[in-house]
Amino acid sequence: MATFFNQATLSYNGNVTNSNITTGEILEALSAVKTPVDDEYWFNEENTYVISITNSGTASYTNLTLTDDLGEYSFGTGTLVPLTYVENSVLYYVNGVLQPAPAVTAGNELTISGINVPAGGNAIILYAVTANGYAPLDGNSSITNTVTISGCSMSVTAEATVTARNDVMLSVSKSLSPATVVENERITYTITVQNYGNTPVVATDDAIITDNFDPVLSNLVVTFNGTQWKEGVNYTYNASTGAFSTNPAQITVPAAEYSQNMSGEWVIQPGVSTLVISGNINA
């Protein structure tokens, strides 16, 4: 909605007098809503935005242009763009009917041109983006991006905000030392759990590590993050079958830490916990 003002002036015999000021409003016939399919994001994951453009007027709009800033934000003396357009992902509907793909230009912003909205009708544009290395990942982070519809008397804007997913993201790896042994020598398995998420693994999450040692180990010594564990309290082990399992509420892993480097890219330092199991090998 835009407000306008108008005043008349009367001149006569060298005199000037002004009328009262009239006030009017121009109601926007065009409106837009931007909606993400997923309210959360994570690095390198796709999300789809739905742009709904409605024309409540009696005249159609043709050749409109949609511009998306892809979440641009300030960093230092410049700006960073945390979202990347997924090539060839645009779908364009008019009154529910799929149309030929419009012209798309993608870079630091996304531009879609040639959009038509009939009188009393609507147009819907869908496209996918991925969160790139400039997308913040720590807890409570968010990305707000704005679309602007231009090509009419007044530009129309709509924005949407997505938040970084608060979650645990684990990976596990295992190493053996030494790799070559003789019968009855001791070997050590090191199991490393890394958490790339912004949420820690706590005892109540009941994370459990299981293994089955073949050959079977004897005289086990188990440590977790440098603290020696006790069989039956922290873990169970079947010396006949080699079946090993941590008990519930024993495994914890800190959340990852996130920082931006000089170029603005986010660097992930995963949280790490280490389970070390050593024993004599029974060949």
Tens-level pLDDT at each residue, the chain (283 residues): 456 568 777 787 777 787 777 764 554 689 999 999 999 999 999 999 999 999 999 999 999 999 999 999 999 999 999 999 999 999 999 999 999 999 999 999 999 999 999 999 999 999 999 999 999 998 889 999 999 999 887 889 999 999 999 999 999 999 999 988 888 899 999 999 999 999 999 999 999 999 999 999 999 999 999 999 999 999 999 999 999 999 999 999 999 999 999 999 999 999 999 999 999 987 6
Number of other residues whose CB lies within 10 A of the CB of residue 44: 11
**Dihedral sign (CA 174, 178, 179, 185):** negative
Could you give phi then psi for residue 198, rounded to 5 degrees? -95, 10
Burial tier of 211 (Cβ tally within 10 Å: 0-12, 13-18, 19+): middle
**DSSP class of residue 262?**
T
Neighbours of 100 (CB within 10 A): 6
CA distance 267 to 84: 18
Q: Which two tokens stand for residue 91?
A: 């779908």
Q: What is the dihedral of CA 197, 132, 135, 261, to 10 degrees?
A: 90
Give the torsion through C-alpha atoms of 11, 14, 15, 18, to 10 deg.
Answer: 30
Query: Could you tell me which of 135, 123, 95 has the C-alpha nearest to residue 260?
Result: 135
- Predicted pLDDT at 183: 80
What is the structure's pLDDT at 3? 60
Radius of gyration, CA atoms only, the chain: 31
Hunting for tokens 């819907």 — which residue is that?
A: 124
Look at residues 209, 206, 212 and name the one whose alpha carbon lies nearest to residue 235: 209
- How are beta strands 235-237 and 227-228 bridged, if at all? unpaired
What residues have CB less than 8 Å from 80, skipping those under 6 apart? 72, 73, 74, 134, 264
Six token digits for residue 168: 């645990």
Domains recognised in the chain with CATH numbers: 26-164 (2.60.40.740), 170-281 (2.60.40)
Residue with tokens 């958490």: 195
C-alpha–C-alpha distance, residues 142 and 122, integer Å? 29
- The pLDDT value recorded for residue 197 is 95
Whole-angstrom distance, CA of residue 253 vs CA of residue 259:
19
233: tokens are 């309290």
Report yes or no: 162 and 38 within 8 Å, Cβ to Cβ: yes
